[in-house]
Amino acid sequence: MTIEEAQQQVDNWIKTIGVRYFSELTNMTILTEEVGELARIMVRTYGEQSFKESDKKYNLADEMADVLWVLICLANQTGVNLTEAFEENMRKKTERDLNRHQHLANNE
């Protein structure tokens, strides 16, 4: 699935099953909540915190997908083509960071 196809699939789902998009501000808040849930799993899995019983219901892949879902909703609502935005972002990062991290690789 391409990013464009994902944007279309989310839009179709919203319009047929979800009925309507939440407001942009509501979706921004939901995105923040979803990132927090992802952070909880990351810190418990890869950081120093241990899992609580209530954390065991969370799934890393599912939480990442939740973040992606809401980000796609926001892109759709604001007219952002994520494929174009991602391609431009990769170009920018490549141009800016072409030699930036080489010293790290050479010191390992």
Which of 1, 5, 101, 56 shows the shortest CA–CA distance to 76? 5
Q: Among 17-21, 24-28, 97-101, which stretch is predicted with the lowest mean pLDDT?
A: 97-101
Domain region containing 54:
3-82
Look at the chain and report how many structural domains it folds into. 1
Is residue 51 a part of any domain in this protein? yes
CATH, residue 43: 1.10.287.1080
Is residue 90 a part of any domain in this protein? no
Helix and strand numbers (H, E) in the chain are: 5, 0
- Convert the pLDDT of each residue in 61-82 to its tens digit: 999 999 999 999 999 999 999 9
pLDDT of residue 47: 92
- Convert the pLDDT of each residue in 37-59 to its tens digit: 999 999 999 999 888 887 778 89
Is residue 48 a part of any domain in this protein? yes
How many CB atoms within 10 Å of residue 10?
20
Element (H, E) at 64: helix 60-78
